[in-house]
Amino acid sequence: MPITKPFMAARRFSATAADGTGVGAAYNILATATTNDAGVAPTAFPTAPAYYNLYINAQIQTADTSSVTTTAITIPDGDTLDPATPIVIEFVVN
């Protein structure tokens, strides 16, 4: 039986679609282009989170709409969003 860590916390990062770079399948938002819960630009996203949620314009997205690394979140065709569209990435860590 696996050991379950009892501590869970969330780390949130916000940006707008204008903060992203690239087009089509290569559109991404760098971790350094976001703002974290402390209101500053982070150096990276969390390493090995339990899971993450992506919200585009306050709507939670399905798992097939993005992929994430410690340096960026890739949102295929995210460049078609209005530049002012808010994007929030929530990582659940343990």
Indicate the pTM of the whole model. Answer: 0.89
pLDDT (tens digit, 9 = 90+) per residue, 67-87? 999 999 999 999 999 999 999
Give residue limits of the domains in the chain. 9-93
Contacts 24+ apart (CB under 8 A), 50-54: 50/8, 50/92, 50/93, 50/94, 51/91, 51/92, 52/89, 52/90, 52/91, 52/92, 53/89, 53/90, 53/92, 54/87, 54/88, 54/89, 54/90
To the nearest whole number, what is the mean pLDDT of the chain?
A: 94
The pLDDT, as a whole number, for residue 8 is 85
